[in-house]
Chains A and B, each alone.
Chain A
C-alpha cells in the first residue's frame, strides 16, 4: 500500500528553527509537495521537489532524497503565524496526490 508518515505534532520557540520530516512509500513518484494549513482554512502551497536536493524559498526550505523516500521541511526564524499544520503529499505514478496526516506545529513565545 501507499503510505506517508510525518510526526503528529511538534513544538518550537519563536525565532528558532524547526525541521518537519516526511517519509513515504508510494507506487511511483512524480514529485513531493508541502502545504501549510491553518486551522479551518484551505491548504496553501509551500514547495515542490522532484529532484534530490534542497529547494530554498525565503524562510522555508524543502529537501528530498528519492533513494531514501524522505523529505523534510525546514522553517527558519519562526514566527507565531507559522503555527499551523504542515502537510506532506506525494504524487504517485497515476499523478494522484497521496497525503500525509499532517504535522501540527505549535510555536511558543
Chain B
C-alpha cells in the first residue's frame, strides 16, 4: 500500500503571497488532517477533512483553508502569508472521521517545508 505523499517538499514564498500544499492520503484512508510544526515544537492541529467537509479546526485564522477531493486527497491553502507561517506542514491520513478506535492511527507524510521571507 502507498503511504501519504506531500508536495512540494520545500518552497520559499514572500510575505503577502499565497501558497497551496497538496497531500495524497494512504490507500484505504478517508480522513485527512493538517498540522503546522514550527522548528523544535510539536505539531499544531490546523483542521481535518472527512467526506470532503471540514469536521474539526484548531486555533488558526480563516486565511488557512482547505479542500478534500472525492479521492480523499487534500489541499491546504494559506493566503496573505506572514513570516510566522514559516514551518513544516504535515498532512496525516487515517480511517474514519468521527468514531475513534485504537486502530485509528495517523499516518504522516514527510511534510512540506515552507519558508516565508
Contact = CB atoms under 8 A, between A and B. Distances in A.
B100 A31 contact: yes
Nearest to A102: B42
Nearest to A51: B102
Contacts of B100: 30-31, 91, 95
Interface stretch (A13-21, A39-47, A60-68, A71-79): A39-47
Interface stretch (B13-21, B68-76, B78-86, B108-116): B108-116
B108 A4 contact: no
Given A96-B56, A96-B58, A101 B105 contact: no
Given A48-B105, A94-B56, A96-B58, A42 B98 contact: no
A15 to B, nearest CB: 28
B108 A31 contact: no
A91 B106 CA distance: 12
A88 to B, nearest CB: 8
A45 B102 CA distance: 12
A87 interface: yes
B29 to A, nearest CB: 13
Interface in B1-51: 4, 33, 35, 40-45, 48
A89 B33 CA distance: 15
A87 B42 contact: yes
A24 interface: no
A21 to B, nearest CB: 15
Contacts of A96: 45, 48, 56, 58
Interface string A80-108: 00000001010100111111111000000
Contacts of A54: none
Interface of A: 4, 30-31, 33, 41-45, 48, 50, 87, 89, 91, 94-102
Q: Which 3 A-B pairs have the closest CB atoms?
A: A99-B42, A42-B108, A101-B42
